[in-house]
Amino acid sequence: MSLTMSLIKYKMNDNGKYFEEDMNVIQRSFLSEPLNEKIVEKIKYAELTLFENEDSQETSVLDCIENTRIDEVIEIIKEEFINLMSRTDKLKSNQKRTNIHEIILEYKEISNIYDLLFKKQSTYIDDNSVIVKIG
């Protein structure tokens, strides 16, 4: 099952309610199941109740990363990057380069997720209407 990690700006009222109307996707990245499992091993996703619009009582619940946990997830991604680089070094010494495709895809996933989380941390950390959504 493939997932996405998305940086999304939701409409939010003064009471802290989030609304699906007028949402803006800032950035989106593929999230593989193995990487998702490594994140979930260390942190639990928060649940966010999202209202359809201000006049509606219809809601949906989505998984997200709390602002206070962004640094922890960035550290997990950094660890995964270091592990990947270590495997890449081993690949250089190996004459059989059968795993190169998987390593390239994994590198792309890790770097895209890191970029998304870094953007949240550096640009939107104090903006509670911008959420890192998992799904």
d(Cα 56, Cα 35) in Å, to the nearest integer? 36
CB 77 within 8 A of CB 110: yes
| Tens place of pLDDT per residue across the chain (135 aa) | 679 999 999 999 999 999 999 899 999 999 999 999 999 999 999 999 999 988 889 999 999 999 999 999 999 999 999 999 988 777 776 656 667 888 889 999 999 999 999 999 999 999 999 999 999
d(Cα 120, Cα 99) in Å, to the nearest integer? 32
Structure-token pair, residue 40: 């979930």
Contacts of 94 (CB under 8 A, 6+ apart): none
Predicted TM-score (pTM) of this structure: 0.90
CB 77 within 8 A of CB 113: yes
CA neighbor of 7 nearest in space, from 21, 32, 24, 19: 24
